Amino acid sequence: MNDFVVVIPARFASTRLPGKPLREICGKPMLQHAWLRARESRAHEVVIATDDERIASAAKAFGANVCMTSDRHRSGTERIAEVAELFNWGDQAVVVNLQGDEPTMPPALIDQCATLLDDVAVDIATLASPLASAEDFSDPNVVKVICNRKGNAIYFSRAAIPYPRNETPARKASDAALHHHGIYAYRCGILRQLVASDASPLELAEQLEQLRALSLGMTIRVARPAVRPGKGVDTEQDLRQAEKELASACFQSSAT
pLDDT-above-90 percentage for the chain: 65
pTM for this prediction: 0.90
Q: What would the mean pLDDT of 243-253 be, rounded to a whole number?
A: 65
Q: What would the mean pLDDT of 150-166 be, rounded to a whole number?
A: 92
Q: What are phi and psi of 155, to 5 degrees?
A: -160, 150
106-126 confidence digits (pLDDT tens): 999 999 999 999 999 999 999
Q: What is the rounded distance in angstroms from the CA atom of residue 175 to the CA atom of residue 68?
A: 42
Residue from 245, 255, 254, 226 nearest 103 by CA: 245
Q: Which domains does the chain have, with CATH numbers?
A: 4-245 (3.90.550.10)
70-98 confidence digits (pLDDT tens): 888 888 899 999 999 999 999 999 999 99
The burial class, CB within 10 Å (0-12 / 13-18 / 19+), for 78 is middle
More confident call, 49 vs 166? 49
- pLDDT value of residue 187: 97
